[in-house]
Amino acid sequence: MGTVYIHPHVKLMIVNKDNIKVGNIQQVNLGEGIPFRTLTWPVQRKWGNGPLFYENKDLPVRTQYDILLASAYPDKNVMPKNFWGAAPSH
């Protein structure tokens, strides 16, 4: 139902010219999934907190340039633990 995260992967089955399976099916992991692209609400989005979901009070005072850099899409395929990361909640 989309609630269990399954890492991107490919399953390979090698067959001979007569289309008979040779060996076992191998699974090749393709790394982590793309952050912020989920089918359902991930656990990081604690919607049960009501409006406190948007609370991100531990941010330092920064320039607009620093805020824009923090709001950029992550360089690595990792979703921040608090969903917002260093960006202001919006």
Q: What is the pTM of this model?
A: 0.47
Comparing CA positions, the residue from 72, 42, 33 lying closest to residue 85 is 72
Res 67: pLDDT: 86
Strands (E), the chain: 9-12, 26-29
Res 80: pLDDT: 75
For the chain (length 90 residues), average pLDDT per consecutive 10?
Answer: 75 93 92 72 65 73 88 78 72
Domain ranges of the chain: 9-70
Res 72: pLDDT: 83
